[in-house]
Structure 1
Amino acid sequence: MSADGHRSRAARAVAHVGELLPSRADYRGLRRTWRGDLVAGVTVGIVALPLALGFGVSSGVSAEAGLVTAIVAGVLAAVFGGSHVQVSGPTGAMVVVLLPIVASQGVEAVAAVSVLAGVIVLAAGALRLGRAVSFIPWPVIEGFTLGIAVIIFLQQVPSLAAPGSSGAAGHSANAVVAAAQALAAADGSYLLWAAGAAAVVVLCMIGAQRIHPAIPGSLVGIVVVTALCAVVPNPLAAIGALPRTLPLPTLPDLSPAALPGLLGPAVTVAALAAIESLLSARVAASLDDTGPYDPDRELVGQGIASIGSGVFGGMPATGAIARTAVNVRSGGRSRLAAIVHAGVLLLIVLVVSGPVGMIPLAGLAGVLMLTAWRMVHRATVRSILRSTRADAAAFVLTALITVSFDLIVAVLIGIAFAGFFAIRSLSRTAGVQREPIPGEPAPGDEGIAIVRFDGPLIFAAADRVFDEVTAVRGVMVVILRMSKIELVDATGAHVLSDIVRALERRGITVLIKGIQPGHEDLFRTVGVLASLRHHRHLFDDLPAAVDHARSHVERSGRGTRGPTTPVSP
C-alpha cells in the first residue's frame, strides 16, 4: 500500500474514533431544553429509585448494587452513549441473567463479569456492530420481552413466601419451579402480610396512574407501605442498612485463574446488554422528535457504563426502556436529563439512605410484579398471534424458551426459527416460466424454448429450479432469461451452471440472456459462464438471442425431430 493509502486509512480510523466520543454537539440544544431536562431528570430519578433497589435485591446481589449501577452507569452511559435521551441502569432482563451467575460463582463475581462484559460491548461498538440488532425480528423481540416479564414476576414469589427471601432464593432453579417450591414451603402468616404489602404498592401505582400519569406511583406505593410498616407491628423483612456514600472504586478479580470461569457469563451478559440497549435506543428515537441515535456509539457508551459500574461494585447496565420512555414523555431532550436522574439517586444515597433501608422487600416485589405485567402489551400479543403462523410460532417459541432455558439461547433460536420460515417464504417466490417466442413465428421455433427465471435464485429454491428447467424436452435450444432474477447466492449460481451442463450433455444448446451486472462476477467465479459451449452464447437482449437460436435450428436441418449431437456455435 502506498503512503497516501496509509494516510487515508489512518485518517478514516481517527474519524471513526472521533464519532464514538462525546463532543460539544451533544449539548447543542441545551439552552433551549434545559428546563425540561431538569424536570424529566428528577421525575426519572424518582421512578428509578424503587426499580434500582428492587432489581438489585432480586438479582441476588444487593439493593446497594442496584443503586450504584443506576448512579454510575446512568452518568457514564448518558455522557458516552449514542442516544440523547437513553436512561441506563439495572434492568429486569439483566437480573434474569445474573441469578445463575450468583448461584454458581458467588456475588463477588458479578462485578468482574460486569467489567468483562463492558469490554466486550465496547469492542462491539468500536467494530461497528451496532446495526446487528436490526436482524432480530419483531415477534422474537416481543417473545423475548414476554418471557422476561414472566420470569421477573415469578422471581418475586420467594420474597412474598418467607422472611428474608428474594428472587435469588430460587436462582439455581427454573423460575417456575422456584416459585412453586417457595409457595409450597411458604410461611402462611408471612405470606399474607407480604401479599398485603405488595397489594398496597400495586394499588397505589394503579391509582396514581389513573389520577395523573406524571405521578410516580411506584414511589408513592413504597412510601405508603413503608410508613404503614413503621406504625403497624409486622414480620416483614426490610432492605436493611445502606451505606451513606458510594463505595470506593476497586478493580475486581480478573486474574488468569479467574478468567476462564468468567468469560462465558460475560459473553452472555454482553449480548443481552447490547440487544436491550439498542432496542431501547431505537424505541426512544420513535417516541418523539429526540433526534437520531448512533448504535455504535451507544454500544461504546454502554460498555463504558458497565465497566464503571463493575469497578464501583455494581451490576452490568443496559438501556432501560421504561425509564427512557418516562424521560421522553416528561420532556427530556438532552443528555442532561439522564445525568440529573443519576444525581437525584446519588442525593438519596447521601441524604436519606436510612429511611430507604426501612423499605420492606415485599413492597419492592409489588413494584416489580406490576412492572413485569406492564411490560407485556396485550394488543401487541394479539397482533402477533393473528399475523402469520410462522411469526406467531416464533413469538411463542421464543417466550417459552426464555422462561424454560436461557435468554440468549431463546433469541438465537427465535432468530433461526423466524429466519427459516422467512427463507422458505422467499424461496417460494422463485420460479421459472416458459415464455412464447416474441414476434412473428418462424419455421423451427418449436425447437426453441425460452425459460424465464423469476424471484431469488437462492439455496432454498435451487433444487426445485433445477428440476423444472431440466424437465424441458423436445427442443434443440434453450434460452435462459436472467434479467428478472432479484437475488442470487453461490448455491443458486452453482445450480445454474449445473443446469447448463445438464442440458448441454443432452445435446441442447444453452443461451443466456440478461445477466445483471451485479451478478456477473459471481457467475464468472462459480463457473456459470465457463459452462456455456461458446462465449458467443451470452446475450444482452432477447431478439439477438432468438435470432442466434433460430440459426442453430436452421443449421441443424432437423426441425422438431429433437437434438442428437451438439452443433457448432
Structure 2
Amino acid sequence: MSTFSALTPRFTWRGALRSAAHLALPRRSDYTELPSSWRKDLVAGVTVGIVALPLALGFGVASGVGATAGLITAIVAGFVAAVFGGSHFQVSGPTGAMTVVLVPVVARYGAESVYALAILAGVLVILMGLTGMGRLLSVIPWPVIEGFTLGIGVIIFLQQVPLALDTAKPDGENAAVVALDTLRVTYWDRALTPLVVTVGVIALMLVLTRIRRSLPASLIAVAAATVVVELVDLDIARIGALPAALPSPSVPAFDASALATMFPSAMAIAVLAALESLISARIADGMVEGVGHTHANRELVGQGLANAASGLFGGMPATGALARTAVNVRAGARTRAAAASHALVLVLVVLVATPVVALIPMSALAGVLIVTALRMIDLGTARSILRATRSDAAVYLVTVGVTIVFDLIVAVQVGVAVAAFLSLRAMSRVSGLRRAPLELDAAEEDALLDEHIAVYRFHGALFFGATKQFLDEIATVRDVHVIVLVLTEVRVMDTSGANALQEIVRDLQRRGITVLLKGLDADQLRMASSVGVLQSLGTKDHYFHDLRAAVAHARNHVRHELGGLWSLECARPRVG
C-alpha cells in the first residue's frame, strides 16, 4: 500500500451515514438546561410568537405567495429548525432577505413554483452542511455583509409601495422599477386612505418602541389599525380568509425540465438561506455568555430540513431571522425549546384566531415591513465603513448598488470578488524583493568572494498577483555568479508563485548564475517540489535551511568557478 493510501481515510457508507446522523439528529445535550429554564423558554416563545405573527403574514404577502404561506413557513420551518438546527437560540421563518429573492422568482415562474423550490433549496442546504460548508461565512467580508443588508432594507421598503397605496402590483422583477410604475398608475384619491393607515402604523410602532422596547409594537400597531378600519368601515384591502388548520404535507407537482430551469433560483435561495442563518446564529452567540455556540454545519442541515418541510406543507423558503432571534435572546431563552414553542403559539393562532387575522389591512402590514426595512438601514455602520478605507468603501457601495439593481446573490458574488481583488492588490503592494547584505563575518579572502554573491530576500505573499513584479525585479540582476534567495518571510505561496520561482531559477541559470534557495516551510517546499523548482536547481544540495551554510556553499562555488583568476586576485596588493 502506498504512503498516500495509508494516510487517506477510506470512504465507507457506514461512516458517511454515521456522520450525517451526528449532524441531523437531535441530542439530549440540547435540553440540558430545560428543567430549570422551561418557564423562561416558554415566556420567550410566546413573546417571539407575538412578534413573528405580523412579520410572517407581511413577508408572505410581500413575496407574492400569500399570507397563508408566510404563516405556514413560520410554523413548520420555525419548529423543524429549532429541533434539528445547530443553534440554541435561532428563530427561523420567512424573512425580508428571502422575500427579496422570491419576488422575481414568483414573477417569472408563478407562486406555485415556490413550494418545489423550497424543497430543492432545502436539499441543497442539507448537502452544504453534510459536506462541511459551515465555514461559508468566514469568506464573506464585513463590508459585503453590511452592504447587502442595507440593500435588502432598501428593497423591502420599495416592495411595500403597492401595499401601502392599495394598488395592484405592476409586472416586473426589479423592486425600484415596480415602485416607480406603481406611483405612475396609482389612483391617488383612492390611495390616500391606505396610505394614512400605513403611516399611522409606522408612527405608532416608533412611539411604542420609544416608550418601551419590550412591547410587541408591531402586533399592537396592527391590532389598532384593524380595529380603526373596522369601526370606520374603510374600504381597503384585507388579508382575507386563512385556513383554520395546517394543511397536510404533499409533494408539489413539478416536472424535470421545469426543475432544471429553476435550479439557478434554487441555488440562490439555498446560498441565501445558509448565509443569513449563519450570520443570525453568530450574532445570537455573541449576545449570550456561558451557553454553547452554534455548530455551523448542523445549523445548515437543520435549515435544509426546515426548508424542505416548509415546501411539503405549502410554505415558502425560510432562513434564520435575526430580529426574531434577538427578541428570543432578550426575552430570556436558554434552550431551543423557546424557538419551538414560538411555532406552537402560531399554531394556536391558526386554530382559534384566523377570522380575526383575516381582517388585518394589507396596508397595516406594509407599515410593519417599512419599519423593519428602516431598522436594517444602519447609517452609523455605513459611516464607519465609508470612513475606514477607500477599498472598504468601494466594496460596500458596490454591494449596495448591485443588491438594489440586480439581486442579493449577484451582490454577494460581486462584493466578494471586488473585496478579493482589492485585497490581492494590497497584498501585492506589500510584497517585494530586496537585496540584503550578507551580514556575516568574513575574512579578507571571503570578502573578495562576496563581491560575486548576491543575497535577495522576498517578503510577503508569493502568489499570482505578485509574480510579475518578482520576475521583473530579478531579471535586472547582473555581475554576480551566485544568488541566494532567502524565502523565510514568504507568508503565502500559491502554484503561480511556485511556477514564477521555477522560471526565475531557470532564467538565472541560463545566464550562468547559480541559484541557492533557503527558508521555505514544509507546505511551501512540497508545492515547490511538485511544480519542479527543486529539480530546476540541478541538485538538492542547492536548498538550505541555514543562511551561513548557503553563503559558505556560495563562496566555495565562486572560488571553484573563478579558478586561476581567483589566485591572481588574491595575490594582488590591496590599497588602504
- Normalising to structure 2: TM-score of the pair? 0.93
1:145 counterpart = 2:149:
yes
Match of 1:359 in 2: 360
**Per-residue displacement from partner, 1:132-153 (whole Å, max 9, x unpaired)?**
1211111011111111111100
Cα separation, partners in 2 of 1:19 and 1:177, compared to 1, 3 Å: closer
Which amino acid counterpart does residue 517 of structure 1 have in structure 2?
A
1:404 counterpart = 2:405:
yes
Which amino acid counterpart does residue 497 of structure 1 have in structure 2?
Q
Match of 1:318 in 2: 319
Cα separation, partners in 2 of 1:120 and 1:361, compared to 1, 3 Å: same
1:56 counterpart = 2:60:
yes
Instruction: Pick one of 450, 466, 479 that aligns with 2:484.
Output: 479
1:500 counterpart = 2:505:
yes
In structure 2, distance between residues paired with 1:16 and 1:120: 14
In structure 2, distance between residues paired with 1:12 and 1:246: 35
Match of 2:572 in 1: none
Cα separation, partners in 2 of 1:171 and 1:326, compared to 1, 3 Å: farther
Conservation of the 8 A alpha-carbon contact between 1:511 and 1:539: yes
Instruction: Pick one of 79, 98, 101 that aligns with 1:97.
Output: 101
In structure 2, distance between residues paired with 1:483 and 1:40: 55
Match of 1:47 in 2: 51
In structure 2, distance between residues paired with 1:491 and 1:80: 43
Unaligned runs of 5+ in 2: 570-576
Which amino acid counterpart does residue 547 of structure 1 have in structure 2?
A
In structure 2, distance between residues paired with 1:540 and 1:381: 49
The alpha-carbon deviation at position 503 of structure 1 amounts to 1.0
Match of 2:175 in 1: 175
**Per-residue displacement from partner, 1:500-521 (whole Å, max 9, x unpaired)?**
1111111111111223222111
Q: CA RMSD in A?
A: 2.0
Percent identical pairs in the alignment equals 50
Which amino acid counterpart does residue 348 of structure 1 have in structure 2?
V
Match of 1:342 in 2: 343
In structure 2, distance between residues paired with 1:525 and 1:315: 49
In structure 1, distance between residues paired with 2:531 and 2:284: 45
**Per-residue displacement from partner, 1:269-313 (whole Å, max 9, x unpaired)?**
111111111111111111122421011111111111111111111
Instruction: Pick one of 448, 451, 454 that aligns with 2:453.
Output: 448
SS of 1:474 mapped into structure 2: coil
In structure 1, distance between residues paired with 2:372 and 2:567: 76
Cα separation, partners in 2 of 1:39 and 1:559, compared to 1, 3 Å: farther
The alpha-carbon deviation at position 189 of structure 1 amounts to 2.2
Match runs of 1:324-335 below 5 Å: 324-335=325-336
SS of 1:478 mapped into structure 2: strand
Match of 1:431 in 2: 432
Match of 1:567 in 2: none
Match runs of 1:152-191 below 5 Å: 152-163=156-167, 165=168, 169-170=169-170, 172-191=172-191
Match of 1:554 in 2: 559
**Per-residue displacement from partner, 1:138-172 (whole Å, max 9, x unpaired)?**
10111111111111000110112235x3xxx2452
Which amino acid counterpart does residue 524 of structure 1 have in structure 2?
S
1:192 counterpart = 2:197:
no
Cα separation, partners in 2 of 1:104 and 1:184, compared to 1, 3 Å: same
SS of 1:484 mapped into structure 2: strand
Match of 2:215 in 1: 215
Instruction: Pick one of 137, 143, 147 that aligns with 1:133.
Output: 137
Instruction: Pick one of 25, 28, 51 that aligns with 1:24.
Output: 28
The alpha-carbon deviation at position 9 of structure 1 amounts to 8.2
SS of 1:84 mapped into structure 2: coil
- Choose 553-562 or 53-62, whichever is displaced more: 553-562
Match of 1:224 in 2: 224
Which amino acid counterpart does residue 303 of structure 1 have in structure 2?
G
In structure 2, distance between residues paired with 1:178 and 1:466: 53
In structure 2, distance between residues paired with 1:123 and 1:112: 17
Match of 1:373 in 2: 374
Which amino acid counterpart does residue 130 of structure 2 have in structure 1?
A
Match of 1:73 in 2: 77
1:201 counterpart = 2:201:
yes
Match of 2:573 in 1: none
SS of 2:491 mapped into structure 1: strand
In structure 2, distance between residues paired with 1:239 and 1:508: 82
In structure 2, distance between residues paired with 1:514 and 1:413: 37
Which amino acid counterpart does residue 400 of structure 1 have in structure 2?
G
Which amino acid counterpart does residue 306 of structure 1 have in structure 2?
N
In structure 1, distance between residues paired with 2:9 and 2:407: 47
Which amino acid counterpart does residue 441 of structure 2 have in structure 1?
E
The alpha-carbon deviation at position 388 of structure 1 amounts to 1.2
SS of 1:83 mapped into structure 2: coil
Unaligned runs of 5+ in 1: 563-569
SS of 1:511 mapped into structure 2: strand
**Per-residue displacement from partner, 1:343-364 (whole Å, max 9, x unpaired)?**
1111111111111111100000
SS of 2:466 mapped into structure 1: helix
Conservation of the 8 A alpha-carbon contact between 2:23 and 2:301: no
In structure 2, distance between residues paired with 1:67 and 1:250: 17
- Normalising to structure 1: TM-score of the pair? 0.94
1:459 counterpart = 2:464:
yes
Cα separation, partners in 2 of 1:22 and 1:462, compared to 1, 3 Å: same
SS of 2:370 mapped into structure 1: helix
In structure 2, distance between residues paired with 1:104 and 1:511: 63
**Per-residue displacement from partner, 1:538-565 (whole Å, max 9, x unpaired)?**
2221111111111222231456999xxx
Cα separation, partners in 2 of 1:561 and 1:139, compared to 1, 3 Å: farther
Which amino acid counterpart does residue 351 of structure 1 have in structure 2?
V
- Choose 68-77 or 179-188, whichever is displaced more: 179-188
